[in-house]
Amino acid sequence: MNELRCKVLIIGGGPGGYVAAIRAGELGLDTVLVEDGQFGGACLHVGCIPSKAIIHAADAAHALAQPLALNAIGLSLGASSLDFAKTIAWKDAIVARLATGVGALLKKAGVRSLKGRATIVDGKSAIAHADTGDQRIVCEHLLIATGSEPMALEALPFDGEDVLSSTEALALTKVPETLAVVGAGYIGMELGMAFAKLGAKVTIVEALPKILPLYDEELTQPVARRAADLGIWTTVGAKALSFAKGALKVAGADGVEKTVAAEKVLVAVGRRARTVGFGLDSLDLTMAGPFIRIDDKCATSMRNVWAVGDVTGEPMLAHRAMAQGEMVAEIIAGERRAFDHRAIPAICFTDPEIVSVGLSPKAAKAGHGEVVVGLFPFRANGRAMTKQADEGLVRITARADNHVVLGVHAVGSGVSELSSAFTLALEMGARLEDVAGTIHAHPTESEAFHEAALKALGKPLHI
């Protein structure tokens, strides 16, 4: 068997692994990256990018189907139609373009990239089962970035035809007439709303008592209202029991069974860390439940064995995986770094979008005592009105004693683009006075952030 020697061996070329590889290469570390599927991982090929492309197409299609909203701004259009196969081809072209970019960046950084499944032998070696034959790779540092995969339900196993994971749902070439979504988390709500806008009659079944259980009611209510406006029937505290012949059987919160028409069923009940089938057990690492346990440097329980991304647990977000990957490469190169998870933004690309950075008022109070909260609604924001999108708010939470910002949350159209301002405030340890003292451009939705800080200081201007 061929033998390859390197300083850093990375298993998994998703956002965690490929970013670690690029930075390691840039820092002059001899790096090998092994990827079983496609460089870019779940995020690029079956996650973040494809879903946001479909959401954009759905928004555009839906806007054309809203004569009242269009008439209000003086527009009237003829009949429009959707060629969904073309939409999917457009989405695939974006993915292909970005994947080419990832390959080029790895090459530029001098990373040796191998296509094939890696099997770990021990903490210093693995075998890559490449098309060209097996290759033994010996390394000084091993980085595990094998990500996650969709979790199935025993009652509704994926069949690739009718009961789908997000991967297959994002590859449908025809919009189903009826779609049942099991799980009202990120994927269920993002894709459920998008398919409703594309014309599907959508039903959402959630086990917990509310949709998007990660977020508080103030943030989820506008999304729940919009889902209802889109004709989505949502049942919470419910259980999906079985699926056969286009019908999903559901037990409601009251225990009463109902049958829901569903040409397709999307099961989106979370993702499972990818930890089996590639020799991970040979390392006998300490686990944290189903995830690899890591410390604040992404070090595992074994010296010079590191782990980043979804395989290390929540939050399963691409930007967290990337930040961890970048950091591990820098630590291996000798830099002093540690991962601070206090300012990781989370965005739900629903309609309206939700942004969460840091602590909610309730969590802030529990952890820090007295807090002040400032809230500004988009209905008082000029820019939101001009976009026909004045639903939602920005909420800022700070310590009462020194006004250090502990959390910023928003719900509204396009608020995803405000997330960097919110995150920067937390990362820089901003106080309310810093946000209030920053000149925010007019007219922008970011003024709601400024106004929320002014409100928390008891000196609002525009409310």
Q: Catalytic site residue 442? A: yes
Rule CB under 6 A: which of 388-417 touch ligand FAD? none
**Catalytic pick from 45, 442, 450, 462?**
442
| 16 sits near ligand FAD (criterion: CB under 6 A) | yes
CA angle 173, 178, 184 (to 5 degrees): 95
Let me know: does 394 contact 410? Beta carbons within 8 Å. Answer: yes
* Burial (CB count <10 Å: 0-12, 13-18, 19+), residue 460: middle
Size of the site for ligand FAD (CB under 6 A): 36
Q: Please tell me the distance from the alpha carbon of residue 151 to that of residue 157, in angstroms, as a whole number.
A: 9
| 15 sits near ligand FAD (criterion: CB under 6 A) | yes
Give the contact letters, 136-165, x = binds to ligand NAD (CB under 6 A), - = no: -----------------x------------
Shortest Å distance, C-beta 52 to ligand NAD: 8
| 345 sits near ligand FAD (criterion: CB under 6 A) | no
Kindly tell me which of 349 and 376 has the beta carbon lying closer to ligand FAD: 349
Task: Please select the residue that binds ligand FAD; options are 10, 24, 25, 41, rule is CB under 6 A.
Answer: 41
At 61, list the tokens.
């299609």
Task: Decide which of ligand FAD, ligand NAD, none touches 274; Cβ closer than 5 to 8 Å per partner kind.
Answer: ligand FAD
| 186 sits near ligand NAD (criterion: CB under 6 A) | yes
Q: Please tell me the distance from the alpha carbon of residue 158 to that of residue 152, in angstroms, as a whole number.
A: 7
* Burial (CB count <10 Å: 0-12, 13-18, 19+), residue 271: buried
Alpha helices in 310-446 (DSSP H): 318-332, 361-368, 382-386, 419-427, 432-436
At 8, list the tokens.
């850093």
> Can you list the pairs that 243-249 forms with residues at least 24 positions away whose Cβ atoms lie under 8 Å?
243/156, 243/162, 243/163, 243/180, 246/162, 246/178, 248/180, 248/182, 248/203, 248/205
Among the listed residues 219, 209, 168, the one whose alpha carbon sits nearest the alpha carbon of residue 191 = 168
Kindly tell me which of 169 and 398 has the beta carbon lying closer to ligand NAD: 169
CA dihedral 14→15→18→24, nearest 10 degrees, is -140
| 330 sits near ligand FAD (criterion: CB under 6 A) | no
Instruction: Give me Rg for the CA atoms of the chain.
Output: 24
Task: Please select the residue that binds ligand FAD; options are 6, 9, 10, 13, rule is CB under 6 A.
Answer: 13
Task: Decide which of ligand NAD, ligand FAD, none touches 185; Cβ closer than 5 to 8 Å per partner kind.
Answer: ligand NAD
Shortest Å distance, C-beta 347 to ligand FAD: 7
The structure tokens 């309609």 sit at: 351
Task: Decide which of ligand NAD, ligand FAD, none touches 345; Cβ closer than 5 to 8 Å per partner kind.
Answer: none
Among the listed residues 106, 140, 112, the one whose alpha carbon sits nearest the alpha carbon of residue 19 = 106
Let me know: does 13 contact 32? Beta carbons within 8 Å. Answer: no
Rule CB under 6 A: which of 99-138 touch ligand FAD? 117-118
Closest CB to ligand NAD: residue number: 185
Task: Please select the residue that binds ligand FAD; options are 31, 51, 113, 178, rule is CB under 6 A.
Answer: 51
| 207 sits near ligand NAD (criterion: CB under 6 A) | yes
Kindly tell me which of 118 and 432 has the beta carbon lying closer to ligand FAD: 118
| 348 sits near ligand NAD (criterion: CB under 6 A) | yes
Residues that bind ligand NAD (CB under 6 A): 153, 182-188, 190, 205-208, 213, 239-240, 268-271, 315-317, 347-349
Give the catalytic positions in this structure.
442
